[in-house]
C-alpha cells in the first residue's frame, strides 16, 4: 500500500464552542500517526495525500478568521507571517480580501479552528477590523501563558489530543467580552447571507436589520473585519468554489449565472483575486484547499462556508 505523505482532517467543536467555531482542523506533513487514530473526537472530514498528489495551495481570501498553532521549519505566509525559528508558533489569521502565498516547509504539524463570522471577538478581545488582512501572534492577544499552551499542543500525541488542548484553551477564554455588534444580530445576518450563497444586496440586509447601509457597514467592519458587500462576494466565491471539486468538463458559464455573477469573465476575475487561480485551473490541476471538497457534489448550502 502506498504510504501517505500528508493528511488534513476536520473535527466537530464541543457544544459550548459551536456558536463561535465552525470546525477544528489538523494538517500533518508527513502524517505522524496511523490513519485510524483520532480517538475521542468526532471527525467530519479526512483527506489523505499520496506521492504526486497536490496537498497545499495559497491562503484564499475569506471573511472568517482562524487560529492556527504550527510546528515545523519553513512554514510562513509571505509578507504576513514568519514564525520564530524553532518551537510551536500560534497565530491568528484575520479576514482576507485577496489570496496570499503560503509555504509549508519540509515537516509541518498544524492544529487550528475556523471561526464563524463575528465569532472571534470573544477570544481576541479586539475588533475584527484591526485584524483584517493581517496575521498576528496569538501571544500578542492572549499574553503570558500562551507559550505553555503552544508547547502542550506540540507535545500532544496525535490530532485528537492536539485539538482537545486547543479547544480547552479557547474554552478558558470564552467569557463575555466587548460587544462590537450593538443591537444588530450580525450572526443572524451572516447566516442569511450563507443561506443565500452571497446572492443578496447590502441594501436588503440593512433594511432587514432596520439600520442604514452606513451603520451596517460600520458594524460589519468592527465585528467581521470586512464590509457587508465584500462579505457577500466572499460567500458567493465559496459557493462557486464548491464546483471546483467536480471533474473536468464543468460548465462554468452556467455556474456563473447560477451563483449570481454577471457572466463567466466576472466570476473568473473574482476567482483570480480571491484564490489566484481560475476555476478551470483548480479543477484541472487537482489543487487542494479546505474550501474545496472533492468527495461530494456541491449543494445549495455548502457546509464548508
Q: State yes or no: pLDDT of 29 exceeds 70.
A: yes
Query: Would you state the pLDDT for residue 304?
Result: 39
Shortest CA distance to 228 belongs to which of 260, 194, 257? 194
What's the order of all strands across the beta sheet hosting 4-11? 43-50, 4-11, 21-29, 108-115, 66-71, 89-93, 135-137
In 116-211, beta strands by DSSP E: 135-137
Q: What is the pLDDT of residue 179?
A: 56
Select, from the ranges 143-152, 181-190, 255-264, the one with the highest average predicted confidence (pLDDT).
255-264
The residue assigned the cell 459557493 is: 239
pLDDT-derived band of residue 295, with 50, 70 and 90 as boundaries?
low
Residue 298's closest CA among 260, 261, 244?
244
Joined grid coordinates for residue 179? 460587544
Gap between the Cα atoms of 59 and 65, Å rounded: 12
Distance, C-alpha 224 to centroid of its chain: 13
Q: Look up residue 289 and give its three cell numbers.
A: 484547499
Cell numbers for 236 = 458567493
pLDDT tens sequence across 218-237: 999 999 999 999 999 999 99
Model's pTM, two decimal places? 0.91
Closest CA to 76 of 114, 105, 107: 105
Nearest 5°: the CA angle 233, 239, 240 is: 90
Q: Select the more confidently predicted residue: 181 or 304.
A: 181
Q: Using one digit for the tens of pLDDT, what is the confidence trace for 268-289?
A: 999 999 999 999 898 888 888 9
Judged by phi (left if over 0) then psi (alpha if -120 to 50, else beta), residue 109 lies in beta
Asked if pLDDT for residue 39 goes beyond 80, the answer is no
3 state DSSP class of 27: strand
DSSP label at 35? T
Q: Percentage of the chain surpassing pLDDT 70?
A: 88
- The CA dihedral of 125, 128, 134, 139, to the nearest 10 degrees, is 10
> Cα separations (Å) of 144 from 60, 147, 174?
31, 7, 17
Q: Do 222 and 178 contact (CB within 8 A), yes or no? A: no
The CA distance from 205 to 185, in Å, is 11
Q: Helix, strand, or coil here: 69?
A: strand
- pLDDT per residue over 153-193, tens digit each? 989 989 999 999 999 999 999 876 555 666 788 989 999 99
Torsion sign (Cα): 118, 120, 123, 125: negative
Rg (CA), the chain: 19
Nine cell digits for residue 18:
459551536
d(CA 179, CA 177): 6
Distance, CA of 281 to chain centre: 21
Model confidence pLDDT, tens digit, residues 107-130: 899 999 999 998 888 898 889 999
Q: How many residues does the chain have?
A: 305
Q: Please, what are the domains in the chain?
A: 4-172 (no CATH), 186-284 (1.10.10.60)
Amino acid at each position: 500500500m502506498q504510504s501517505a505523505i500528508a493528511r488534513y482532517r476536520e473535527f466537530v467543536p464541543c457544544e459550548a464552542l459551536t456558536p463561535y467555531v465552525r470546525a477544528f482542523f489538523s494538517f500533518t506533513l508527513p502524517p505522524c500517526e496511523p490513519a485510524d487514530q483520532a480517538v475521542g473526537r468526532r471527525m467530519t472530514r479526512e483527506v489523505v495525500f499520496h506521492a504526486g498528489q497536490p496537498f497545499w495551495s495559497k491562503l484564499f481570501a475569506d471573511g472568517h478568521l482562524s487560529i492556527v498553532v504550527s510546528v515545523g521549519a519553513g512554514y510562513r505566509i509571505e509578507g504576513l507571517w514568519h514564525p520564530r525559528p524553532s518551537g510551536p508558533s500560534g497565530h491568528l489569521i484575520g479576514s482576507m480580501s485577496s489570496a496570499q502565498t503560503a509555504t509549508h516547509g519540509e515537516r509541518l504539524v498544524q492544529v487550528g479552528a475556523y471561526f464563524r463570522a463575528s465569532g472571534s471577538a470573544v477570544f481576541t478581545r479586539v475588533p475584527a477590523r484591526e485584524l483584517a488582512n493581517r496575521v498576528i501572534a496569538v501571544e500578542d492577544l492572549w499574553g503570558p501563558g500562551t507559550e505553555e499552551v503552544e508547547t502542550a499542543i506540540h507535545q500532544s500525541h496525535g490530532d485528537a489530543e492536539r485539538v482537545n488542548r486547543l479547544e480547552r484553551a479557547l474554552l478558558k477564554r470564552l467569557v463575555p467580552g466587548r460587544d462590537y455588534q450593538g443591537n444588530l444580530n450580525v450572526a443572524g445576518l451572516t447566516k442569511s447571507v450563507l443561506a443565500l450563497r452571497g446572492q443578496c444586496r447590502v441594501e436588503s440586509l440593512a433594511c432587514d436589520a432596520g439600520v442604514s447601509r452606513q451603520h451596517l457597514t460600520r458594524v460589519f467592519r468592527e465585528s467581521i473585519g470586512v464590509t457587508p458587500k465584500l462579505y457577500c462576494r466572499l460567500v458567493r466565491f465559496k459557493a462557486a468554489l464548491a464546483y471546483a471539486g467536480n471533474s473536468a468538463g464543468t460548465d462554468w458559464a452556467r455556474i456563473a449565472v447560477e451563483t449570481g455573477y454577471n457572466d463567466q469573465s466576472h466570476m473568473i476575475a473574482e476567482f483570480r483575486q480571491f484564490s489566484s487561480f481560475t476555476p478551470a485551473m483548480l479543477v484541472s490541476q487537482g489543487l487542494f484547499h479546505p474550501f474545496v471538497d472533492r468527495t461530494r457534489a456541491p449543494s445549495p448550502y455548502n457546509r464548508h462556508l
